[in-house]
Every structure is written in C-alpha cells, then in structure tokens.
Amino acid sequence: MLEVEVKLRVGNLEEIEKRLLDLGAKLIDIVNETDYYVDLRPCIDLRSKDMALRIRESMSLLSNSRRCELTFKGSRIGGYPKARKEIVVEVDSAEKLLEIFKDLGFSKTYTVSKSRRIYRLGSFKIFLDNVKELGSFIEIEADNPEPQSLDTLASEMKRLLSAIGVFGEPEEKTYLEMLLEKKGLDQKYFD
C-alpha cells in the first residue's frame, strides 16, 4: 500500500479541531500510541536506505481496545506530499515481538510516544498529534491513493490545510528523526 501524507508543526490543536468540526470532519478515535523503531544493523542499515521498521502499540480511549502492528516503511518517493510504500501486519503482542528482535541480536530500539485524535473528512484522515518531547502536529493522510495522482493530492491537501487555517512548511522529518536530533542521538543512531 502507498502511504501519502503531509505533516506540519502547529501551535493550538484545539483551534484546529474546532475548524475541522466546522468543516464537517468526524471524530474516528482518540488513541495513545507508542512506537518502537527497531535498528536491524549490522544486517541492514534501514536509515541509509530511508526505510523503517516500527512496532506500534495503540490504545483507543473511545473503545477501550488495544491494537499492535508491525509496519515496514519503504523509501520516500515524493516530496510534497510525502509518499512511501507501507506494509502493515497486525501482531498479538509488541512485547513478544520486541523480545524476538532482542533475542536475534537487534536490541537497539527507539521509542516515540504520542496522543492522537483521528478525524475523517472526505477521502482524508486527519491526525492531531501531541508528541512527547516534540509538541503538536497535524498530519493529513490520503486513503488508498494512486501513485499517478500525487499532484492532485498535493493540491487537495494544501486546500484542506488552508481551509482549517494551517500554513507553513511541511515537516519532512519523521517523529523519530526529530526526537533523535533533539536528544543529540542523531549521529549515534546512524553511525
């Protein structure tokens, strides 16, 4: 599946949420997520290939349900919006999967935690994220995009951002990249 998204740092999520509701967006879920990124070196240096392997644990505050998944993120193939191949597999337990990787010798993991409000508006999912140690962000993700429609999606995403009063340059870095950079671990992770 192709993941197509745009992400921007924002100031006030409450104001954005009000504008989304005024536009007719529907709240899908409120979740707390913990993402564990697994470093597979020396077998493969995912960073140098612009790839990632993530284990995500999600807890829905609306349904009181828990979900775990393993996600492979391929290399980015677009600038705006950001596009990349994504393969997601549901798993039973993040802890057991982390234990497997550790027993295989891949003990380095990096954690990103966030609270997320998820909305749907038309063919877009909108994520209002409060990322621990990084702050507030909005992400807009297209549902089931076709690679040839990236220019059209970019225009639609820009119009949506404008309609909800969000302006500025998109954030190209992942939450993991931003967090490692903030902690001064960027070089240690990649060397």
Q: How far is CA 149 from the centre of its chain?
A: 21
What confidence score (pLDDT) does residue 146 get?
Answer: 67
Query: How many CB atoms neighbour CB 154 within 10 A?
Result: 19
Cα→Cα distances 108→7, 50, 58, 179, Å: 27, 18, 21, 15
Task: Please report, to the nearest 10 degrees, the dihedral formed by the alpha carbons of residues 162, 168, 81, 173 taken in order.
Answer: -150
Query: How far apart are the C-alpha atoms of 85 and 67, rounded to whole Å?
Result: 21
CATH number of residue 62's parent domain: 2.40.320.10
Indicate the pTM of the whole model. 0.90
Mean pLDDT by 10 residues, the chain (191 residues): 88 95 97 95 87 95 96 84 90 95 89 97 95 96 73 88 92 91 66 37
What confidence score (pLDDT) does residue 145 get?
Answer: 66
The strand pairing partners of 16, in sequence order, are: none
Query: How far apart are the C-alpha atoms of 25 and 118, rounded to whole Å?
Result: 10
What confidence score (pLDDT) does residue 189 get?
Answer: 46
Structural domain count of the chain: 1
Query: How far apart are the C-alpha atoms of 178 and 48, rounded to whole Å?
Result: 16
What confidence score (pLDDT) does residue 62 get?
Answer: 96
Cα→Cα distances 142→17, 114, 160, 173, 175, Å: 18, 21, 12, 18, 19
What confidence score (pLDDT) does residue 3 get?
Answer: 82
Q: Which domain holds residue 149?
A: 2-190
Task: Please report, to the nearest 10 degrees, the dihedral formed by the alpha carbons of residues 22, 23, 28, 33 taken in order.
Answer: -90
